């Protein structure tokens, strides 16, 4: 009886000690000084991410995917831009659909709602 108790105690102790084999490593102390943009619009106009819009941020142009409002926080593609005051223009099929000057802070995700 004593052998079984001792054996079960040792087995439990080894199991518990084995679970704590990985110790925490150094944590990240911060991320880059960037802001992020997510473009949201109705899927009837922009499709389900299949169509893109042309974005101009202070003269830097790129194509961006547009996501549905329901999936913007979970599946939206984020585009990193520099922080500060930025002039943003969005065009679709040759027409300007959004044009604003925004103040973006570090690690801020700005959701831009397109018509």
Sign of the dihedral defined by the CA atoms of residues 36, 86, 91, 69, in that order: positive
Contact of 95 with 109, CB cutoff 8 Å: no
User: Which pLDDT does position 88 carry in this prediction?
Assistant: 93
Residues 79-94 pLDDT 10s = 889 899 999 999 998 8
3-state class of 1 per DSSP?
coil
Residue ranges of the chain with pLDDT lower than 70? 1-3, 5-7, 9-31, 48-50, 71-76
Q: What's the per-residue H, E or C state across 19-87?
A: HCCCCCCCCCCCCCCEEEEEEECCHHHHCCCCCEEEEEECCEEEEEECECHHHHHHHCCCEEEECEEEE
Q: Is residue 82 a contact partner of residue 34, using CB atoms and an 8 Å limit?
A: yes
């Amino acid at each position: 009886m004593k052998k079984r108790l001792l054996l079960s105690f040792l087995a439990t102790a080894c199991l518990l000690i084995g679970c704590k084999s990985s110790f925490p490593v150094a944590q990240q102390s911060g991320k880059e000084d960037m802001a992020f943009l997510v473009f949201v619009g109705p899927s009837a106009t922009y499709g389900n991410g299949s169509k893109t819009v042309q974005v101009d941020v202070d003269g830097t142009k790129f194509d961006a995917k547009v996501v549905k409002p329901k999936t913007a926080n979970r599946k939206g593609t984020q585009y990193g831009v520099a922080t500060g005051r930025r002039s943003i223009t969005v065009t679709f099929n040759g027409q300007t659909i959004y044009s604003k000057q925004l103040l973006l802070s570090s690690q801020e995700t700005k959701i831009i709602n397109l018509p």
